[in-house]
Structure 1
Amino acid sequence: MNFKIVHETTYLFSDKVFLEPHHLRFRPKKTPFINLTHFSIHLTPEAAGHKVIEDEEHNIVDFCWFEKLTSHLTLTVESHLQTSDYNPFDFIIYPDSFSRTPFIYSDSQYQILYAYLQKVALTPDLINYAEKILNNVHYNTIEFVTHLTSQIHNDFIVEYRENGPPLTPDATFDIKKGSCRDLSWMQISMLRHYGIASRFVSGYFYFETERPIYELHAWVEVFIPGIGWLGFDPSHGILTGNTHFSVASGATPENTMPVSGGLRGSATSTLSTTLIIERS
């Protein structure tokens, strides 16, 4: 399948400002089953400098800097993707000791995965929620992550919230609803509680619908030896496939922000976005 993604982001400022250097994360990642055949990014005002870099977590970032005052910033990104068939269950876990949770990474794995294992404090209710699922699947690792993903989908209401960081895991659990990033961060925190390396992923998700309204999406990836990084989408209760297009992944959601950068000035700003995903 072939896909075309057009993503436009506009910031309007109440007065002219000077833009500090910006990190832009809109470039879909290549995988063994997703090929990026075209990518373009257009900025208004035009950047004085533009360099494509690889950040600390191996995301490809468009790093831009500016020279003039401006009352707006518009980013128009176009990506063309070609996908092939993908079976997320085509794997074996090796060594087999990782088939049951809890498990222990090797010393070298732990050093590399350290950032993806950092825990946050969780309430007993949230721990009990995960513990019940782990007990029901008899500590099977894949069944635990899969059932946790589907259970979150069944028990929580997905809502859209354009701006702001994810809620704390406990806050999301208490209100039983959240954005895709809220649910993903809650699941990551539960998985890390059991020593499963997990990271936050930002990207695009294509699905068939009569009236498509697409938004930047978030999901979870876990690292299991023999498999590598495997994606789970708690908003939809599924493993990720070849219509989940990862743009950035990080140990924390802050490291996956599509636009990050400061400005000089006292203006207020408004944000508007449009996202079109077409299959051909």
Structure 2
Amino acid sequence: MKFLIQHNTHYRYSRPVILGPQDLRFYPREDGSLRVINFQLNIAPAPLGRNDHQDLEGNRVTQVWFENETDHFDIQLNMQVETLRHNAFDFILEPEAEVLPINHVEDFIITQGYLERIEIDDTVTAFATELARSVNNNTLDFLNALNQKLFADYNHIHRDSGVPQSPAHTLQTRHGACRDLAVLFIDCCRSVGIAARFASGYQKGDIQSERRHLHAWPEIYLPGAGWIGFDPTHGIAIADTHVTIAAAAHSRDTMPVIGNFNGKGVSSTLKYMVQIQVSES
């Protein structure tokens, strides 16, 4: 499946400011399931310097810095990518991954950050434990059941801004944006011993929708399968319908723009536009 993606981001400041260094995450995670056909990132004002590198999570980061004052900061992304994975379950699990809790002894140091729960809440633990028990602790059955439950039983809303709700809040209220459902899914997985991380990017979705947005979903690490994605907002296991831009143990490390500005008493506004065209390969 081929994606043609345009993502424009516009910051405006009430008075000229000095922009601090900005870390931009817009380049897709290139692996065996995705290839980048072309990629162009335009930045205004023109930066004084630019550095492209990988962060600790393996995400491509473009760091830019500036010299002069400005009343705007614009980022224009144009790219074409092709997703190559057609079957979300084209793997054979290692025996230790088939039943919960998964034994991560051999890769404990690597997976530790993806197993650590940020907020331990007994209601989330009980919810996940009971769901695992209902499927006889079968790993894939648990993941599919959790995915379908968050899809079918929760009210899906859109929020333009704000950090994710706590997993306990989303569980209690049964409503949330895609990032809220992703964080709840991740916490449920970690509570039963499954390594999980937060992913951000673009998805096929409803191509007739007038307005598109960045999307968020969880990715799960299973020995034998590697990292695989689930989308509780749409109730699917992810194959070729999503383009991952960044993935990390914590959602804050997947933000597309991280930086600051210097200017006393200055207010700022943010506007963005995402357009996605999808065609079958």
Q: Normalised by the size of structure 2, how large is the TM-score?
A: 0.95
Map 1:17-36; keep pairs closer than 5 Å: 17-36=17-36
Deviations 1:181-239, CA, capped at 9 Å, x for gaps: 11101111111111111000010001344334211000011111100001111111111
**1:54 counterpart = 2:54:** yes
Find the aligned partners of 2:141 and 2:55 in 1 and give their Cα distance.
Answer: 33
**SS of 1:133's equivalent?**
helix
Map 1:154-233; keep pairs closer than 5 Å: 154-233=152-231
Find the aligned partners of 2:54 and 2:102 in 1 and give their Cα distance.
Answer: 31
Deviations 1:40-91, CA, capped at 9 Å, x for gaps: 1111111111111111111011111111101111100011112335211111
Give yes or no for contact 2:207–2:276 (8 Å, CA) kept in 1. Answer: no
**SS of 1:150's equivalent?**
helix
Amino-acid identity (%)? 34
Q: Normalised by the size of structure 1, how large is the TM-score?
A: 0.95
Deviations 1:151-179, CA, capped at 9 Å, x for gaps: 01111111111111111111111221111
Find the aligned partners of 1:39 and 1:103 in 2 and give their Cα distance.
Answer: 38
Give yes or no for contact 1:28–1:79 (8 Å, CA) kept in 2. Answer: no
**SS of 1:29's equivalent?**
coil
Specify the alignment match of 1:39 in structure 2. Answer: 39
Find the aligned partners of 1:105 and 1:48 in 2 and give their Cα distance.
Answer: 45
The structure-2 alpha-carbon separation of the partners of 1:243 and 1:137, relative to structure 1 and needing over 3 Å to count, comes to same
Find the aligned partners of 1:237 and 1:2 in 2 and give their Cα distance.
Answer: 22
Specify the alignment match of 2:274 in structure 1. Answer: 275
Find the aligned partners of 2:158 and 2:205 in 1 and give their Cα distance.
Answer: 17
**SS of 2:127's equivalent?**
helix
Aligned residues: 278
Gaps of 5+ in 1: none
Amino acid in structure 2 at the alignment position of 1:56:
L
Find the aligned partners of 1:269 and 1:121 in 2 and give their Cα distance.
Answer: 31
The structure-2 alpha-carbon separation of the partners of 1:106 and 1:123, relative to structure 1 and needing over 3 Å to count, comes to closer
**1:73 counterpart = 2:73:** yes
Deviation at 1:2, TM superposition (A): 2.3
Moved more, 43-52 or 79-88: 79-88
